[in-house]
Amino acid sequence: MTVEPTLEKSAPSLGRAVIARLRGVHKTYGPVRVLDLPELDLYAGQVVGVVGENGAGKSTLMGTLAGSVRRDAGEIEIDGQSLTPGSTAESARLGVALVSQEFPLVGQLSVAENLLLGQKPAGSRRRVLVDHPAQRQAAEAMLAAIGLAPNTIPVRRQVRTLPVPTRQLIEIAKGWGRDPKLLILDEPTSSLGPVEAQLVLDLARRAAEQGKAVLFIGHRLDEVREIADRVVVLRNGRLVADLTPEEASEDRLIREMVGNEVAHSEPKTAPASTPTLLEVSGLTADGLGPVDLTVREGEILGIAGLMGSGRSRLIHTIAGAQPATGGTMSLAGKAYAPKNAEQGTASGIALIPEDRKLQSLVLFAPIRDNVTVSVLRRISRRGILGPRKVRAEAVAITDNVKVRMQSVDQPIGSLSGGNQQRAIFGRAFAAEPRLLLLDEPTRGVDVGSKAQIYELIDRAAESGMAVVAASSELEELLWICHRIAVMHRGRVAAVLERADATKENIMTAAATGADPRQGPEARIDLNGTPT
Amino acid sequence: MSAPTLTPADAAETAAPTAASTLLRKLAATPEAGVVLACVVAFIWFSVAAPTYHNTANLQVMGRDLAQFGILAIGESFVILTGGIDLSVGGLAGLAGILAGWFNVTHGMPGPVAMLLTLLICAGVGWWHGTMVNKLNVPPFVITLVTFTICKGLALSITSGTPITGLSNLFGDLSLYYVGPVPIPAVIFLVVIVVAWFALERTYIGRQIYAVGGNAEAARLAGIPTRRRVTTTYVVSSTLAGLAGILIIGRLGVADPSVAGSGYELIAIAAAVVGGVSLFGGEGRIVGIAAGAILLELINNGLLALNVNEYYQTVAQGVVLGVAVLADRIRARYFGGNRR
């Protein structure tokens, strides 16, 4: 089924010293092989960009190096010393520093205390008591070392009072301050503004100049291409390409990331003129809006936008799961103002949230109970349920979306991600909604299952449901949607018909907030204010 | 786990190998089975060791004991199923007894009115707990601890520390009469079990309570009124605490502020945990909870029948709890559902 990828290797080593040597590193979770690297060397003075789709094995690779993931097999050497699997302390001792996206900072402690967590400031004479002045001094030095002007970040402040970008910088300073041999940056710029992002990119370069090895996991291809001396592509846990920056064109990278499995790409024709189902005008909520949108019956509207642009917020506000602060909505001509998700559901809206584990399922409960949650009321008689009826309903729901399982009594957590997601679709369909809201419909689903989920989305639209699908994966939106609304800072920057919806147009609108069809002068407005 | 040559797809098609092995696996995978089995073993063992253990009189004593904290355990479990905890049940049961007595004796209300009013007040307390937990996000531990403390104090202040005597006969009748050989409190306990089982397993509200406990965010996004469900469980818990309190004073014949309900909340929580209820919410069934309460009573009474030193009885309770938790963890490790 899967084609064995052939490794294309052309990036030069240029006789540099090897900092990290990985041989036969292997990791599986249950039946899924998430990482399988026969050979990978990271050299001193090199920034290695790592790209891959979600679930390609990027985080697992970082985790095995940083010790937070215990590899099943294989050898890792850091600067000649063998690395014990699964010990973060050991990885730190050998000189691996991971700057992760999930800042492991202690919110109640000050910036200075966080930066020196677990260590005493150098030169402090105190043995028992905390040497606050020395601690602050050391912390300020660490922040200065990553190029921040003095007092940009107040070191006495509690970390939890600081915004996310600042925390990201603290995390970076913490990693940098350990003077690592191998610095791993996990999408370090995803939460930063342009100025801070540049600072981080400069920092990565500087690390390489100082002879460190840098592993830069990027979510934006242009950024990776700009900074990396070498780009490796992961797909399904394997290293499928090892390229020089010249070879690593955007097209090439995407091709390598997606592999041969690009399917289902013919542009869609919008349904014949159907009545408008959802009309949103001037909708505002915390961090959202004002937003104007319409969705017709049988139509699939995509919501694109960068991280934090308000995609999920829009979906949740329409569903009633997040309170709207202004504006109006109407469903099939009737005013619709949900106070909570309960009212949204009652009005014929089904929401499939982005995080299956946290927002959709009770993992340890049987499939039966999970899939019937949306219909309990309907299948009960005066509030009373018959167990046989529940079971039959669960079987019908799962059959409808072809969930592969042994019985509806097994815990839903024992299914694969794709099967879980199909079960969630089945549950949503069972409630017979008029409007289906999707947030990252294929997150954490393997490539084969993705196609099946796209089919389900098509089916929903063909049956007359209106579908609104938010996704961070552009390819996905281009495959499934009739129209795409691009969001930028909580507003809809542009609504693109299928014919206009090219990747370039979407990215332009997402990054600049300008409608790309309004001419070139709109595109260079980088301040994000639509003209 | 079945025949080795089957592929997963085949296995889905074919029925399980033999009925017997399926039954065994199912039993092993059900946390309740172990507790029920332990009940049977404990009963037989004590019956052999202490001849008076299984005579009618002693069984009736056990039935009355059980009614008191068994009812509390059922109510407590409702709250625990949503991932909360109710520390107030012991104190509230104590106060409920005092209130019922006070209404009846001091204020001259007829017995049924006094009882009904007491139960209503308790339900109100439950509603207050639910509201505080939902609206102001007060941790359940804290808000119910507040109620517990106030209840203890109120019980003493209402009575100035002296027991209320001269209760209506109805109280005593409730606790002392029998249906056949079964004492009425035990009958009430049985009724509570059946109703609770029905509510949790056979009504959509019950299933939604499990969903809220298993994953509150998922339940909310699925359109379940999570707050109302949580409040419901606190109301159930408090009302049942009131019921238990009324049964306790009936048995004692007086409303004694120093005796009633003390420490019962911990026994109730222990019974729930022994019966397989997860303190993280969403897991546990009425059969197990009832069996958990019965097991604790069987052991308590058994140790008494064997003339074991009272101090060691408490130790034994702790050991039972420890063994139950350990057994449950081991079971979960081998049969899935390994969550905690």
Pull the structure tokens for residue B268.
Answer: 């109730």
Distance from CA of A398 to the nearest CA of B (A): 13
Assigned domain for B274 exists: yes
Say what the alpha-carbon torsion angle B128, B130, B134, B138 is, to the nearest 10 degrees.
70
pLDDT value of residue A91: 87
For B220, left (φ over 0), alpha (ψ -120 to 50), or beta? alpha
CB contact under 8 A, B214 and A384: no
- For residues B42 and B44, give the distance between their C-alpha atoms in angstroms, rounded to a whole number: 6
Write out the DSSP string of A33-78: EEEEEEEEEEETT-EEEEE--TTSSHHHHHHHHHTSS--SEEEEEE
Give yes or no for residue A268 having a pLDDT over 70.
Answer: no
Tell me the per-residue pLDDT of A43-91, one tens digit each, with 9 for 90 and over: 998 999 998 876 678 888 888 998 888 888 888 989 888 888 888 888 8
Nearest one of A475, A459, A515 to A300, comparing CA atoms: A459
pLDDT given at position B92? 95
Report yes or no on B37 lying in a domain: no
Contact across the interface for B223 and A345, Cβ inside 8 Å: yes
- The helix (run of H) or strand (run of E) holding residue A135 is helix A132-145
CA distances to A22, A74, A86, A100, A516 from A67, rounded to whole Å, are 14, 14, 4, 13, 45
Phi then psi for residue B30, to 5 deg, are: -100, 120
Q: Residue A344 pLDDT more than 50?
A: yes
Q: What's the confidence (pLDDT) of residue A267?
A: 56
pLDDT value at residue B148: 93
Query: What's the Cα-to-Cα distance from B192 to each of B73, B80, B175, rounded to whole Å?
Result: 11, 17, 16
Judge whether B129 and B88 are in contact, CB under 8 Å: yes
Separation between Cα atoms, residue B21 and residue A88, nearest integer Å:
44
Nearest in space to A100 (alpha carbons), one of A143, A140, A67, A149: A67
User: Are the C-beta atoms of residues B87 and B149 closer than 8 Å to each other?
Assistant: no
pLDDT over threshold 50, residue A339? yes
Q: Is residue B32 a contact partner of residue B288, using CB atoms and an 8 Å limit?
A: yes
Q: Tell whether B31 is within 8 A of chain A (Cβ).
A: no
- Predicted TM-score (pTM) of this structure: 0.74
Tokens of A247: 């070879």
Residue in B with minimal Cα distance to A368: B207
B221–A358 CB contact, under 8 Å: no
Q: By three-state DSSP, how is residue B305 classified?
A: helix
Pinpoint the alpha helices (H) of A347-446: 367-372, 376-379, 387-400, 417-430
Q: Is pLDDT above 70 for A523?
A: no
d(CA A281, CA A490): 14
pLDDT digits (tens, 9 = 90+) for B37-58: 889 999 999 999 988 888 889 9
Chain B hits for A380, CB-CB cut-off 8 Å, are 203-204
Closest alpha carbon within chain B to A411: B337
Identify from A313, A354, A361, A362 which residue to disrupt to test chain B contact, counting B C-beta atoms within 10 A and taking the largest count. Answer: A362
Q: Please give the single-letter amino acid code of residue A11.
A: A
Checking if the pLDDT of B200 tops 70, the result is: yes
A345 touches chain B (CB under 8 A): yes
Round to whole Å and give the CA distance between A126 and A119: 13
CA distance B330 to B324: 10
- Tell me the Cα Rg of chain B: 21
Least reliable range by pLDDT among A238-242, B17-21, B135-139? B17-21
Structural element, H or E, at residue B318: helix B310-334
By Cβ distance, the residue of B202, B215, B222 closest to A374 is B222
pLDDT at A338: 94
The total of other beta-carbon atoms located within 10 Å of residue A238's CB is: 19
Q: Which candidate from A340, A373, A385 shows the least CB-CB separation from B202?
A: A385
Contact A352, A438 (CB under 8 A): yes
* B14 occurs within a structural domain: no
Dump pLDDT digits (tens) for A356-411. 888 999 988 999 999 999 898 888 888 888 889 999 999 999 999 988 888 898 88
d(CA B278, CA A206): 52
| Smallest CA–CA distance from B222 into chain A, residue | A374
Q: Which residues of B touch A415 (CB under 8 A)?
A: none
Q: CB within 8 A of A197, min separation 6: which ones?
A: A189, A223
Q: Is B205 in Cβ contact with A369 (below 8 Å)? A: no
Mean pLDDT of all residues in B124-150: 95
pLDDT of residue B24: 73
Judged by CB atoms closer than 8 Å, whether chains meet at A362 and B202 is answered as no
CA distance A288 to A285: 5
Question: How many Å apart are CA B92 and CA B265, to the nearest integer?
Answer: 10
Q: What residue ranges define each of the domains in chain A, with the CATH number in brackets?
A: 1-95+180-259 (3.40.50.300), 99-177 (no CATH), 276-523 (3.40.50.300)
**Residue B33 is assigned to a structural domain of this protein:** no
Q: What is the pLDDT of residue A8?
A: 47
Whether the pLDDT of residue B36 is over 70: the answer is yes
Interface test with chain A among B13, B215, B232, by most A beta carbons within 10 Å:
B215
CB proximity A371 to B under 8 Å: no
Instruction: Return the CATH number at B122.
Output: 1.10.3470
Shortest CA gap A472–chain B (Å): 21
Report yes or no: A344 at the B interface, CB cutoff 8 Å: yes
- If contacts are CB pairs under 8 Å, which of residues 98-137 in chain B contact chain A? none
Q: Which chain A positions have a beta carbon within 8 Å of B135's beta carbon?
A: none
Of A346, A358, A406, the CB nearest to B12: A406
Please give the mean pLDDT across all residues of chain A: 84
Confidence band for A214, pLDDT divided at 50, 70 and 90: very high
Q: Domain range for residue B207?
A: 66-328
Choose from B81, B217, B220, B221 for mutation: most chain A CBs within 10 A: B221
- Does the pLDDT value for residue A353 go beyond 70? yes
Looking up tokens 């009832």 gives B290
Q: Distance (Å, rounded) from C-alpha A97 to C-alpha A180?
A: 6
Number of structural domains chain B divides into? 1
**C-alpha angle B287/B290/B294, rounded to 5°?**
130
Contact with chain B for residue A406, Cβ under 8 A:
yes
Task: For residue B104, give the DSSP letter.
Answer: I
Distance from CA of B144 to the nearest CA of A (A): 27
Per-residue burial over B290-307, b = 16 or more CB atoms within 10 Å of its CB, e = otherwise: bbbbbbbbbbbbbbbbee
The reported pLDDT for the residue numbered B74 is 96
- Domain-embedded: residue B179: yes
Please report the pLDDT score of residue B11 as a whole number: 38
Per CB-CB distance under 8 Å, the chain B contacts of A346 are: 223
Q: Which helix (H) or strand (E) holds A19?
A: strand A18-29
Q: Is B163 on the interface with A (CB under 8 A)?
A: no
**B23 and A CB contact within 8 Å:** no
Chain B residue nearest residue A338, CA to CA: B223
Do the Cβ atoms of A398 and A367 come closer than 8 Å? yes
Question: Alpha carbon of B203 to those of A52, A397, B209, B230, B305: distances in Å?
Answer: 47, 20, 10, 15, 41
> Torsions phi, psi of A317, nearest 5?
-70, -40
Nearest of B318, B317, B324 to residue B302 by alpha carbon: B317
Question: Within a 10 A sphere around the Cβ of A97, how many other Cβ atoms?
Answer: 22
Task: State percent of chain A over pLDDT 70.
Answer: 90
Instruction: For chain A, report the end-to-end CA distance as a whole number of angstroms.
Output: 49
**Cβ–Cβ contacts within 10 Å for residue B320, how many?**
20
Is B248 among the domain residues?
A: yes
What per-residue confidence (pLDDT) applies to A54?
63
CB contact (8 A) between residue A360 and residue B221: yes
Task: List the one residue out of A332, A339, A364 whose CA is nearest residue A465.
Answer: A332
Nearest neighbour of B214 by CB, restricted to A344, A351, A362: A362
Answer yes or no: are the C-beta atoms of A468 and A311 closer than 8 Å: no
Q: Is residue B60 part of a domain?
A: no
- A526 pLDDT more than 70: no
Chain B residue with minimum CA distance to A378: B204
Chain A CB within 8 Å of residue B12 CB: yes
CA of B198 vs chain A CAs: smallest distance (Å): 9
Q: How far apart are CA A364 and CA B330, in angstroms?
A: 16
Report the Cα A371 to chain-centroid distance in Å. Answer: 26
State which of A490-504, A506-520, B108-122 shows the largest mean pLDDT. Answer: B108-122
Q: Is the ipTM of this complex over 0.90?
A: no
Alpha carbons A531 and A528: distance in angstroms, whole number: 9
